[in-house]
Amino acid sequence: MSIRYRSRKTLGELEANMNAQLSRFQWGVVSVEVSDDGLAVTPSGAADEPR
């Protein structure tokens, strides 16, 4: 099953919702980008840690 996000707003909402859930457990943040193979989710460490 393949899900394609054509709208940057929708993709931004997905990223924001994922980060909201991760922050509940202090698990850091992720960035979500569209690639040729689908979605690329990249962890970025804790939200309060320097990057």
List the chain domain ranges.
8-43
Average pLDDT over the chain, rounded to an integer = 79
Give the residue, 25 or 50, on which the prediction is more confident: 25
pTM over 0.85: no
* Torsional class of 34: left (φ above 0), alpha (ψ -120 to 50), beta (otherwise): beta
The pLDDT assigned to 43 comes to 92
pLDDT at 42 over 80: yes
pLDDT for 50: 54
Decide which of 29 and 5 is more confident: 29
User: Which carries the bigger pLDDT value, residue 19 or residue 49?
Assistant: 19
Distances (CA, A) of 34 to 3, 24, 27, 37, 50: 11, 25, 22, 8, 25
Closest to 44 measured CA to CA, from 17, 22, 25, 24: 22
2: its two tokens? 């393949």
